[in-house]
Amino acid sequence: MSVRVRRIYEPPEPDDGLRVLVDRLWPRGLAKDEAHVDEWPKALTPSTELRKWYHGGGSYEEFRRRYEAELDAPEAAELVDGLRKAGRGKRVTLLTASKSPEQSHAQVLLELLKG
């Protein structure tokens, strides 16, 4: 499985493969028909409480730990398995509006899918 993270505001590329929005909220200022999103599994996104805690000054390491715990929940775990199956033999591109994707939930999800 080939998986990567890209900002959703970047134009789609032919080698994106399956484009999966991993943010709970739709990105501001982006029309849905321009985003070219194939899937939007909201149960894979951090909870509203966790997202607000992190953006309120929480540490990335603690955010990561809490988000990984959320991803262990049955519905999220099933979606992770589904993405792994969908990505067999092709690329999966995780899309986020985060200004720092390398310090976001998308990075945690990327590492989980690769592992």
14-47 tens-digit pLDDT: 999 999 999 999 999 999 989 999 999 999 999 9
Query: Is residue 7 scored above 90 in pLDDT?
Result: yes
pLDDT (average), residues 79-96 = 92
What pTM does this model have?
0.93
- Asked if 95 and 7 touch (Cβ cutoff 8 Å), the reply is yes
Alpha-carbon distance of 45 to 20, in angstroms, equals 11
Banded pLDDT at 81 (limits 50, 70, 90): very high
- Asked if 20 and 37 touch (Cβ cutoff 8 Å), the reply is yes
pLDDT (average), residues 69-88 = 93
pLDDT the model gives residue 67: 97
pLDDT tens figures, 42-74: 999 999 999 999 999 999 999 999 999 999 999
Alpha-carbon distance of 109 to 20, in angstroms, equals 11
